[in-house]
Structure 1
Amino acid sequence: MFNKILIANRGEIACRVIRTARRMGIATVAVYSDADRNALHVTMADEAIHIGGSPSRESYLLGERVIEAARRTGAQAIHPGYGFLSENAEFCNACKRENIVFIGPPVKAIKAMGSKSAAKQIMEAAGVPLVPGYHGDDQDPAVLRQASDSMGYPVLLKATAGGGGKGMRQVWRAEEFDEALAAAKREALNAFGDERMLVEKYLTQPRHVEIQVFCDQQGRAVYLFERDCSVQRRHQKVIEEAPAPGMSQALRQQMGEAAIRAAQAIDYEGAGTVEFLLDSDGSFYFMEMNTRLQVEHPVTEMITGQDLVEWQLRVASGEHLPCPQEQLEIRGHAFEARIYAEDPDNDFLPVTGTLRFLQPPATGHHVRVDTGVRQGDEVSVFYDPMIAKLVVWDEDRERALTRLTRALAEYRISGMTTNLEFLYNLANCPAFRAAELDTGFIDKHHAEIFLEGEERLARDLPLAALYLVLRQQQQAEQAARHSRDPFSPWHQTQGWRLNAPSQRHFSLLLHEQAYPLVVEERRSGAACGYRIEGAGTVYCQDARGRLEGSQLRANLDGYQLNATVSEHDGIISLYTADSALSFRLQRPDLGEQQDAGSAGALNAPMNGTVVALLVEPGSKVAKGDALLVMEAMKMEHSLRAPADGRVVSFYYQAGDLVDGGRELLEFEQDHEA
């Protein structure tokens, strides 16, 4: 066994590997960029080496610097985590030349699965079922389009060197093909340095089920059952679970044995994941094999009781697999929810900011939180926006799902927009509870998950308004106590009006939509309540409550609930037992605010980098045409023309960093005569 290993990664996976290594008595070395100088994984490791600038291409993707850090510290092996260098055959080769163990598969296996088209050919020879598609070497766009036309739409474009949803596009109609291909190739080149593509028939209602495999250096192989990863956005997983709902023992064995054939066909070693599309008739098709540890590996650990990182270390050091197939068994059910700094109401675009308030749920036998951040840390533009992985376990799916929803409600974050509320609503969606899963689940159940319309307002607005009134009163009382004249009328906040009820007026911004509210005081003796309405709708007839520190105790028309309050940088967050509400007060427009739309400007939706300018200045464009592409946190976003018109000029060029909200270009809309 190794005495010291280096982790060539960052964030939660680096922290995850460090925890297992420490338990096994193995010393650890972290590497870090400028942006990660004070990161959690750096403080957790026994040693840490700076390897470069904040962009990953200047640090975590520089294999020679990682290897030099290993040589400098005497690390015998390198654990690549996932992403970055984890599936880089050149890096694996370089480790071998330096007599440093790469904790992963051999070069041959990485190369075999590194090309999706080559992988398909190997799997076909090994008897693993494949989705119909084009996997050839001829990359002429006309050839790719002809293949798509022949198999019929919809089709799926996939980068041959891809993973994690990068370089992937669904194409529903022939007229969309050219733009989708250009975007997929550009994203693939940016992410992997390789723009080659394959085309597959797109199954409209499949499930995404993957098999965890493990192989040792002596040729033994096992499968540690399956994970259902069907619930996705942007082809990236959101909630994973194990075992897959509705999986029969016979189908599980068929898929497990197919996964082992896939691994043995390339002389695999270590942890790997064979991903399948599972159709409603029980047929399944090989998608790809990830030659690394998966982000969602904790759900497999929870149902098997095995530490897969420990298995990796033991296999890489030459030991046999810790457990034969017949001794592996499934116990209970587990879910993993990925908590991201992103805005689900804005097409899941990533956001940046500082974690001003961070309070995860209590962890223990049933709840696990894998994270690489602490309160006060910054989520930057340079890396993936994942904040944490919330993993829960219980005896069966129903109980585990109850654990998940409770833990999501108890997870409290402020300082930036996150997907916590989205995850909570998704986990409570009736179709999800009934395990009616497929890869289009989020689009299909959009209205239920996003709680659109009056239901959302009736839940959120009265609670927010009550907090604002109580906060005003509290602030006035504090000012009076410190005043020379505590009885001055300037310390009163009840909204007194001559011959009219006392009222307060607020304008709340929820998900960037303004909601003007009127809060009218209703007194009955010493008791005081509030009537809350807005835009002709009465949201609450009698709101009452107490604010004690960060705790709000509310009674809304007889419905009592408690909320924890966090307020940072103008964003107010209220956390109840079953939801999280974040809002801010809208400042009055004193004339200095400019309507960007009327000025003909298009603004950056996020902090990021301009990847490409798609039209020439002065060009005439039609509504919906893509004008410019931005990239941030491994996600690409196209800005499109809001109407027919002309691009007057661009304010930034490809490669420029841009702050979210900045004007990107000047656009002149056509006006009808």
Structure 2
Amino acid sequence: MIKKIVIANRGEIAARIIRTCKRLGIATVAVYSEADQKAPFVSMADECYLVGPPRVQESYLNAEKIISIARQAGADAIHPGYGFLSENSQFADQCRDAGLLFIGPSSQVLEQMGNKIAARKAMKDAGVPIVPGTDEAVADAEEAKGIAELIGYPIMLKAASGGGGIGMQVVHTNKELEKAFDSNAKRAQSFFGDGVMFMEKKLENARHIEIQLLADHHGNVVHLYDRECSIQRRNQKVIEEAPSPFISETTRQEMGDSAVRAAKALNYTNAGTIEFIVDEQEHFYFLEMNTRIQVEHPVTEEITGLDIVEQQIAIANGEKLAYEQSDIARSGHAIEARIYAEDPKTFFPSPGYISAFELPDGENIRHETAVTDDFTVTPFYDPMIGKLIARGADRGEAVAALKQALLHYKVEGIKTNIPMLIEVVNHDQFLNGNTTTAFIDNYYLPMVKTN
């Protein structure tokens, strides 16, 4: 039975995990870098240990030091959160070898799903639809051009490893592809140590819709319905909602069934998400699998009433899922806006000192935050400083609550993306549920250019 957990992460997700652990009576250990010494999550934990200097390679990616801290603290398990080491198969093995439970799937699954080419093959074998594209690495720009002419432009050039939009680019012509191939391969090599590239057909006017899964060590798998994550900038999500306002109940069920079937084929365990791209006719295709908790998990929690972190811990403990699919009800609507320290026009990070920070209150409002006032956002990490979640009996009510909360969300001293979020949630196309992955390009950026 898990009695003490090291949170191998930082910011809002570390605070989120600590809150659930406190409720469950599980002791928590925070690891923090020199840059995060005054971060809220550090003081929230029962114990805290300095893991290293600000750079992630010397702190939050320092697997050996984190495991050493876990041993020193007498911990039973490590929760990796998202990002950093969360999908690192070697780290999962290191935890196991050190006698620590890794709160996530097996290292074998992490390795398989961590490579997007291998993931495509696995999903194809499991009978899950995949986007037309390459099932092998693309050697160079010349080979890429030949494939693109067969698939048809536009195409999405992707790095086989990594995520977060890094090494990913939409290209429309051979000339663009020539320029993009080498630059994206080099960037992927720099960030992930793997410059292998592959290609997929870019679906026009598509939606990014994902299915949340829970799977135990006894062969039981359930889905917690869908999330719409189509509002993105630089291929990264900024607004997510559950359920999707677009798909029918029939498509929702088919997507859920496909995701469960895939998880069973992989012998998947713990929480995970299968992401799909969905076209205008509601045809859905596998995009990727996230083998961890996701940033946007709160909207699923709000419509199901389940605590996904609690479920992760129970599964890691070897417990059977307490729910069958028929037991999981869906109620109301929830929507999340990610608050970033960034310029709302250029999307460039805007680190600096927060002189004032006030969160809006409300019965239908939930906050997940990484900062306080009198706090400095450093340039060392992802610039997300918080998440604002609104819920309602239906989408209209949830959106209305989000709109009001954004107007009263106060951050002074740095730039944030709040002005962008306000523009998006007040746009007619968003209010009508027309939220494709091209939304920012089609509606927000043209407005920014004219102002």
Coarse TM-score class (shorter-chain normalised)? over 0.9
Checking the alignment, whether the CA contact within 8 Å between 1:311 and 1:322 is kept in structure 2 is: no
State the TM-score, normalizing by the size of structure 1: 0.66
Question: What amino acid is aligned across from residue 402 of structure 2 in structure 1?
Answer: L
Alignment correspondent of 2:358: 359
Give the alignment of 1:179-578 within 5 angstroms: 179-346=179-346, 348-363=347-362, 365-446=363-444, 450=448, 452-453=450-451
- Cα distance in 1 for partners of 2:123, 2:139 equals 21
**Is residue 109 of structure 2 the alignment partner of residue 109 of structure 1?**
yes
> 5+ residue gaps in structure 1?
454-673
Question: What amino acid is aligned across from residue 358 of structure 1 in structure 2?
Answer: F
Q: Greater helix share, 1 or 2? A: 2
- Cα distance in 2 for partners of 1:68, 1:335 equals 39
- Cα distance in 1 for partners of 2:31, 2:264 equals 33
Give the alignment of 1:128-207 within 5 angstroms: 128-207=128-207
Alignment correspondent of 1:48: 48
Cα deviation, 1:94-114, whole Å, max 9, x if unaligned, reads 011111000000111111101
Cα deviation, 1:223-254, whole Å, max 9, x if unaligned, reads 00000001100000011000000322211110
TM-aligned CA deviation for residue 271 of structure 1: 0.4
TM-aligned CA deviation for residue 448 of structure 1: 7.9
Checking the alignment, whether the CA contact within 8 Å between 1:425 and 1:450 is kept in structure 2 is: no
State the TM-score, normalizing by the size of structure 2: 0.98
Checking the alignment, whether the CA contact within 8 Å between 1:442 and 1:449 is kept in structure 2 is: no
> 5+ residue gaps in structure 2?
none
Give the alignment of 1:43-82 within 5 angstroms: 43-82=43-82
Q: 3-state DSSP class of the match of 1:339? A: strand
Q: Greater strand share, 1 or 2? A: 1
Q: 3-state DSSP class of the match of 1:158? A: strand
Alignment correspondent of 2:120: 120
Alignment correspondent of 1:526: none
Checking the alignment, whether the CA contact within 8 Å between 1:429 and 1:449 is kept in structure 2 is: no
Give aligned-pair identity as a percent.
Answer: 47
- Cα distance in 2 for partners of 1:62, 1:25 equals 28
- Cα distance in 1 for partners of 2:420, 2:356 equals 19
Cα deviation, 1:562-591, whole Å, max 9, x if unaligned, reads xxxxxxxxxxxxxxxxxxxxxxxxxxxxxx
- Cα distance in 2 for partners of 1:172, 1:302 equals 39
Greater Rg over alpha carbons, structure: 1
- Aligned CA RMSD, in angstroms, stands at 1.3
TM-aligned CA deviation for residue 322 of structure 1: 2.5
Q: 3-state DSSP class of the match of 2:5? A: strand
Alignment correspondent of 1:93: 93
TM-aligned CA deviation for residue 145 of structure 1: 2.8
TM-aligned CA deviation for residue 449 of structure 1: 5.9
Q: 3-state DSSP class of the match of 1:345? A: coil
TM-aligned CA deviation for residue 34 of structure 1: 1.1
Pair 279,138 (structure 1): closer, same or farther in 2 beyond 3 Å:
closer
- Cα distance in 2 for partners of 1:122, 1:355 equals 46
- Cα distance in 2 for partners of 1:182, 1:447 equals 27
TM-aligned CA deviation for residue 40 of structure 1: 1.0
TM-aligned CA deviation for residue 446 of structure 1: 2.3
Give the alignment of 1:1-40 within 5 angstroms: 1-40=1-40
- Cα distance in 2 for partners of 1:306, 1:63 equals 30
Q: When the two structures are aligned, how many residues end up with a matched partner?
A: 451
**Higher normalized contact order (CA 8 Å, seq sep 6+, divided by chain length):** 2
Checking the alignment, whether the CA contact within 8 Å between 2:138 and 2:197 is kept in structure 1 is: no
